[in-house]
Amino acid sequence: MKIMKFGGTSVGKPERMHQVAELIIRDNEEKIVVLSALSGTTNALVAIGDSLLEGDKSTAKSKIDALEAHYQKFVEDLVLGETARAKGRAVLSEHFEFLNIILRISFNEALNKDILAQGELMSTKLFCIYLEEKGIGHMLLPALEFMSIDSHDEPQIIPIRAKLNEWLSRHPGKQLYITQGYICRNARGEVDNLKRGGSDYSASLIAAAANASVCEIWTDIDGMHNNDPRVVKKTFPIEQLSFDEAAELAYFGAKILHPASIWPAQQYKIPVRLLNTMQPEAKGTIIVEEADSMGVKAIAAKDGIIGIRIKSSRMLLAYGFLRKIFEVFEKYRTPIDMITTSEVAVSLTIDTASNLDQILKELEPFGDVEVSKGQTIISVVGNQLAQSKGVLSKLFASLEDVPVSMVSYGGSPHNVTLLVPDSHKVTTLQLLNRGLFGLD
Ligand code: ADP
Ligand code: ASP
Ligand code: MG
């Protein structure tokens, strides 16, 4: 069993969907194809939900109409026969009718999740109509029947596997299944999702649940690059990464992968390939257990980080101090990304302000608490960085006047992490590209 996931750009135009069909029939291996919504759709659905949340129904309505017009045109270009087009139109009227009904009823968070699910529901149905027109045997595998998150909004492979296997055993004998990325059911049985960019996570979870031979992530770039190509001009694809390196890059901002998408594949040792739909022969990146070389591989950045420093004169000498601090973050289910300590202070970072006020209140008794919002974590990732000559000296020499407020090194053998203000993110990535890779 092979998993092939295609992102928004890869299915965003009718001709791209045609190309996806060609890619999935290149071999006869049994496969589950995971599709995102057409590019731009989830953003549009978020905007519709936001308008409804503000009580602005007329803006929501015009956004729904604009989206529907886009999809009408898409269907006309996706399939040629009148029967297929009629089926396509029927799919659109079902989903857009649903969105129009929401306009008339009172809005809530659960309905918002239903709105967000429409993109993947439509892309998979439309793709199946195209496959049918082409005579390509397949079956639609509804993600809402097996993909789930628990009461902490975390997916667990064992229940996903049980439900997936149960569904597949009821629908045997197909070589090709098409399913939705991103969407799932929560512990209350409602429609929910794996957060933005979550189709990668779906693919990796399905790969783990189905014990797949490979998890292919098809996107609009030829693999994981050494630096963020949206920010830095000269970047290049990396041929091989270890799971640890890839997980670090994904978590710390390399948008090509959802932040949590590596652990399921890693846990079941399933190779992940990052491939380019627009350039299918390009090597891309393979992510496996082993790193193929020593030294720095890539740099990623995650912005919007909050730095917190707790300063106490009696602090680190007192055992139990760090535990008490961590307990506050645990209580509010807020992960700490970076941490450094000194004799008198502990500095750490979090990436969400959801419970910040309560956290700060509970930290107050431990000492002076300083908060700096608008920070960026820069993560320099590679293999055995400590044993690789000159990495640290090159890294710091290249940073010139960048005000680095935290450094974390040694937590794992494959990263060095820095904290800089958001306003220095772009310059830092550019300077490191020059200093570590010799590229301007
Ligand atoms: P998809 O819709 O296929 O999921 P995404 O837009 O989510 O695609 O991810 C692909 C994009 O990730 C690329 O177009 C690129 O701009 C961006 N990206 C950010 N950092 C990296 C990186 N280090 N390597 C490759 N792509 C990256
Ligand atoms: N469609 C969802 C999003 O845009 C999920 C994904 O594309 O991975 O976030
Ligand atoms: Mg993505």
Kindly report the CATH number assigned to the domain that includes residue 50: 3.40.1160.10
Q: Higher model confidence: residue 60 or residue 343?
A: 60
Q: Which ligand is nearest to the CA of 217?
A: 1
Residues 344 and 196 in one domain: no
- Strand order across the 368-383 sheet: 339-341, 345-350, 295-311, 368-383, 415-421, 406-409
Domain for residue 49, yes or no?
Answer: yes
Residue-level pLDDT at 308: 98
Q: Is 365 a member of any domain?
A: yes
- Specify whether the CB–CB gap between 145 and 170 falls below 8 A: no
- Note down the domain range covering 407: 297-437
- Whether 396 maps to a domain, the answer reads yes
Mean pLDDT across the stretch 395-413?
A: 91
Claim to verify: residue 301 and residue 202 sit in the same structural domain:
no
Distance 259 CA to ligand 3 centre (A): 10
The answer, yes or no, to whether any atom of ligand 1 lies below 6 A from the CB of 230, is yes
In a domain, residue 236? The reply is: no
Burial class (CB in 10 A: 0-12, 13-18, 19+), 392: middle
Closest ligand to 45 CA? Answer: 2
Question: Out of 33-37, 192-196, 366-370, which region has the weakest mean confidence (pLDDT)?
Answer: 366-370
Task: For residue 257, tell me if it sits in a domain.
Answer: no
Distance (Å) from CA 104 to ligand 3 centroid? 32
Could you tell me if residue 322 is inside a domain? Answer: yes
Number of domains in the chain: 2
For residue 349, tell me if it sits in a domain: yes
Q: What is the pLDDT of residues 372-399, one digit of tens each?
A: 999 999 999 999 888 888 899 999 999 9
Over the stretch 145-189, which tens digit does the pLDDT of each residue have?
A: 999 999 999 999 999 999 999 999 999 888 999 999 999 999 999
Same domain, 211 and 311: no
Last residue of a domain, one of 220, 235, 253: 220
Does residue 243 sit within a domain? no
Is 315 a residue whose pLDDT tops 80?
Answer: no
Ligand 1 pocket test: pick from 219, 279, 287 the residue with the most ligand atoms within 8 Å of its Cβ: 219
Q: Are 221 and 276 in contact (CB under 8 A)?
A: yes
- Mean pLDDT calculated for residue range 281-301: 96
A 10 A CB-CB count for 367 gives 19
DSSP 225: B
Same domain, 207 and 308: no
* pLDDT single digits (tens) 80-109: 999 999 999 999 999 999 999 999 988 899
